[in-house]
Copies of this chain bind each other. A is one copy, B any other.
Amino acid sequence: MEELFEPRAIAVIGATPKEGKVGNTLLKNLSKFKGKIYAVNPKYREVLGVECYPSVKDLPEEVDLAVIAVPAEVVPKVLEECGEKGVKAAVVISAGFREVGNYKLEMELVEICKKYGIKMVGPNCLGIINTSNGLNATFSGVEPLRGRIALISQSGALIVAIMDWALANNIGFSKIVSLGNKALLNECDFIEYLSNDDETEVIALYVEGIEEGRRFMEIAEKCRKPIVAIKSGKTSAGAKAVSSHTGSLAGSYEACRTAFRQSGVVEAESVEELFDFSTVLSYIKGFRGGVAIVTNSGGPAVMASDAVEKYNLNLASFEHETVEMLRSIAPYGNVYNPVDVLGDADAERFCKALDIVAKDRNVGLILAILTPTATIDGVKVAEKIVGINKKVVGCFMGGKSFEEAVRILREKGIANFNDPVRAVKAIASVQFYSRRTKRKEFVRFDVDLKKVRELLKRGLYFEVVREYGIPVPPYGIARSAEEALEIADKIGYPVAMKVVSPKIIHKTDVGCVKLNVTRNEVVKIFYEILKRAEEFGDVEGVMIQKMMPTGKEVIVGMKRDPSFGPLVMFGMGGIYVDVFRDVSFRIAPISREDAEEMVREVKAYRILQGVRGEKPSDVDAIIDVILRVSQMVMDLEEILELDINPIFVYEKGCCAVDVKVIV
């Protein structure tokens, strides 16, 4: 990727002296680039003072990067020439490909890139920027400031809007990438690159779809920088907009959100959050201990305290000494957390409070909330904050009064927010990031893969589940009425009888399940079930299953996401799933820690712990089932969807009573 962001020489293909044209703006924006620039256009010998050549092949030296802004149908030819010339990287600005249904033309570009090993951004993109070497290979009208945030976006328009806004708010960028149609390079490639980019402290990402889901997770997990991401096209309304927009297939939002969480990506809900979170994370990656609030104004501190609770942060409990020292400087104020040094405080008193709180070992981060008063000097407080030996987030509320103070904070990387709630949300994003789960161990259970594949083919899903070590009731499969009686006699009455056929998924709906069958009904029901199943075909037989005592009902299921792979679900059965959607997801493979979290995450977990004097259910048994399902759906890619439902959970052990599989 070095050739993209650190090229020695660049060719602008489609450069033109015509004002307002993309090929003109590109060349202008590149004027600050610290390297050689060539223009390519058969019509000119020189464009804006830059040497111009008829073709990239005519250039007097090798170039690393070609920026291409020619009509779509010409791009393949130009790219081919780039390949022949040995160009390593290309940014294809030109539109008119997949986004207008022209898939074939886009595939041509990919073929050419693969042939010559060209790294291509786009097509249909705004371009890329590297602020450290003046590389602005975009046609944007705004020149971004240098900073620590890398921005990757699937929407070029959003980049322009953000750059414009960021300039007004003094926020800078290290790199900016407009992904465009992502024909070759996508967010994964850039995250991988930026993970090792010294200029970048945090990666802000806007995506509408993630195509290489599993690669994304792997790269995100390994990434050495925090990633903050907006996934748009979440809801059905949104998803519709996506498909009619860039033609990007909106992956299931649940899968994406789970992937974010599992790989430590901080999710943002809006552009504002994207930058609130990125700004804080560009300086603070984590903190140990609680949050201390120090303020000269009670109202905003109360709002912040509310938000601390809402966003699952902890207010630090102060050490005794801290309280005593605070009392000595603010006897009428609040000396517990949140610390209120009162409205008549001057900078000296506020700074003393900061010093005292900073020394408390229970405090991991200080939120300094300041409102303008006649007595407070914001600049002095800001100067104190930038030198303090503790992580600090600022909430200097106001406009002109604190302009200079906020400038001082920003300069030293202290984020400032005008709203205490926004500040707390941003702090919560740091906590999420610092608590992300690290590289985990995956257990493997012994399974005869050849055997289970065979069973799967025959529609013997119950057998598959059993082979994976998931407890099932005693059962047998009868091919004849005689055999049915024999099995039932062995198991004991009453029994459940169900058809076995890969063709029949909803067995109950077609009358192929009978529960509580007694001895003298077995034969009659055997024939009944066979008769009803006849029309579907592929009947393997009838399963005779022991009727199990009812336990707490849980469900473990899976749906294979086209991008992220097997999305495993856990929930309490029935109404909790249907009505409350009280379920948790993880993408397989699932570690033990993940499985434990999955179970604890659902609200109905308390039911498993035992409510109203009940004994707790065997949670370990459920975790074991989740881990085994995880392995099963990793092993058997044929399984598209899976429902093990219900699973009865007892005080000791559990039992999977029914299994549905879609292959």
Contacts and interface: CB of A to CB of B under 8 A. Distances in A.
B20 A157 contact: no
Contacts of A373: 157, 160
Copies in the complex: 2
B164 A372 contact: yes
Contact of A374 (B25, B166, B309): B25
Contacts of A400: 142, 164, 167-168
Contact of A237 (B162, B232, B233, B309): B309
A158 B299 contact: yes
Given A141-B401, A233-B302, 19 more contacts: A25-B374, A142-B401, A157-B297, A157-B300, A161-B371, A164-B397, A164-B400, A164-B401, A168-B399, A168-B400, A169-B399, A206-B299, A230-B303, A235-B306, A240-B305, A241-B301, A245-B334, A271-B397, A271-B419
A167 B241 CA distance: 38
Interface string A562-597: 000000000000110011101000000000000000
A343 interface: yes
Interface string A124-136: 0000000000000
Nearest to A166: B399
A480 interface: no
Interface residues of A, number: 89
A332 B100 contact: yes
B154 A374 contact: no
A227 B308 CA distance: 26
Interface of A: 20, 25, 100, 139, 141-142, 153-158, 160-162, 164-169, 206, 208, 230, 232-238, 240-242, 244-246, 269-272, 296-303, 305-310, 315, 332, 334, 336, 338, 340, 343, 371-374, 397-402, 418-422, 574-575, 578-580, 582, 603-604, 606-607, 611-612
Contact of A398 (B161, B300, B340, B579): B161
Q: Lowest 4 A-B CB distances belong to which pairs? A: A155-B299, A168-B399, A157-B297, A164-B398
B237 A298 contact: no
Nearest to A240: B305
A160 B301 contact: no
B334 A244 contact: yes
A50 B270 CA distance: 53
A305 B233 CA distance: 8
Nearest to A271: B419
Contacts of A419: 270-272
Contacts of A399: 164-169
A310 B235 contact: yes
B607 A271 contact: no
A336 to B, nearest CB: 7
Given A272-B419, A343-B157, A336 B244 contact: yes
A537 B294 CA distance: 53
B271 A418 contact: yes
Most chain B CB within a 10 A radius of its CB, from A372, A420, A579: A579
Nearest to A343: B157
Contact of A238 (B153, B156, B306, B398): B306
A309 B238 contact: yes
Contact of A272 (B162, B308, B340, B422): B422
